[in-house]
Amino acid sequence: MNLVSATPASIDRAAALLRDGAVVAFPTETVYGLGANALDAVAVARIFEIKARPTFDPLIVHVIDDAMLGRVAAEVPDLARALMARFWPGPLTLVLRKAPEVPELVTSGLPTVAVRMPAHPLARALIERAGVPLAAPSANPFGYLSPTRAEHVAHMLGERVDLILDGGATEYGVESTIVLLEPVPALLRHGAIPVEEIEAVAGPLARELPDEAKPLAPGRLPQHYAPRTPIRLTEPSEVPIAERADAGLLAFRAPAPGYRATRVLSERGDLREAAANLFRHLHELDAIGVTRIDAQPVPLEGVGIAIMDRLRRATHA
């Protein structure tokens, strides 16, 4: 069994494996990551293989301090420094000019590298003991629901991963927010930190890049984060009772009658709680064997914007 609870001993073992080119799943504050030594192209290639991820989709590199940042980024503009001072460690990814040591596979051949400094103590301990930056996408098959618990990883990727460190449920439940600094400050992905908090520090962020900079924003696929069961966004009140019997409901605050299975994101209507529950509830509804999942929209504010981004991509036909 490759699923172990995270203890100082298992973290040491995981760190040794990573130094040897292995692939280890570990918790971060966003979702579980599938990590390998970011400076070892062969190890990174295994991440793509395990996830069946297309190589045009670059990875995020996780660091724990300035020295490690300096190994992967060639340059850190002032605006990036200001954002790091406010949001690192935490769920903000910054796209910076890459250092030569970072393999092309990590960045899909781009001149830039996406970097973040996680806050999760287990992620930090693992990176510290490994002594190398970790390239780590979410620990799920490409395009499928992200994992917010170690069991999700075990269920989806099983023995293909060398080791899965179990550190319990993740805090945010949605991926990091991604910001590009140059040629213009731009939001590349809605995520755990609401964009308005970032704009309070950075000023307005472009939502669309100028045409000549579009290649700098790869991997933003319209279909992503999807369960196997067909899913659509709909208000339950608009679904006739007769069409609910075989379906599952992902509700925001309250169940609706007639559904075969229901999961409520947050009874209190708390969007952070809703985000933390999002993928777990979708994993559960997907496993029940309903014929369809009806997902109720959540308010488009704060982290609700990231939730709706995930749901829209999950429902994209």
Kindly tell me which residue out of 60, 139, 161, 275 binds ligand AMP, with binding defined by CB under 6 A. 60
Q: Under rule CB under 6 A, how many of the chain's residues touch ligand AMP?
A: 21
Rule CB under 6 A: is residue 95 a binding residue for ligand AMP? yes
Question: Looking at beta carbons only, is 201 or 221 nearer to Mg ion?
Answer: 221
At position 7, the amino acid (one-letter code) is: T
Sheet containing 261-264, strands listed edge to edge, beginning at the edge strand earlier in sequence? 231-233, 292-295, 247-251, 261-264
For residues 259 and 246, what is the distance between their CA atoms, to the nearest angstrom?
7
Rule CB under 5 A: is residue 138 a binding residue for Mg ion? yes
Strand-pair partners of 75 = 97
Can you spell out the DSSP letters for 34-53? EEEETT-HHHHHHHHHHHT-
Q: Which does 47 bind (CB under 5 to 8 A by kind): ligand AMP, Mg ion, none?
A: none
Cβ-closest residue to Mg ion?
138
For residues 247 and 92, what is the distance between their CA atoms, to the nearest angstrom?
36
Q: Is 148 left (phi over 0), alpha (psi -120 to 50) or beta?
A: alpha
Question: Looking at beta carbons only, is 138 or 262 nearer to Mg ion?
Answer: 138
**Shortest gap between Cβ of 220 and ligand AMP (angstroms)?**
5
Rule CB under 5 A: is residue 107 a binding residue for Mg ion? no
**Shortest gap between Cβ of 59 and ligand AMP (angstroms)?**
6
DSSP-derived letter for residue 20 is T
Question: Looking at beta carbons only, is 15 or 139 nearer to ligand AMP?
Answer: 139
Rule CB under 5 A: is residue 176 a binding residue for Mg ion? no
Question: Looking at beta carbons only, is 127 or 216 nearer to ligand AMP?
Answer: 216
Residue 123's nearest CA partner among 71, 52, 171 is 171
Binding site for ligand AMP (CB under 6 A): 57-60, 95, 107, 110, 112-114, 137-138, 175, 178, 188-189, 216-220
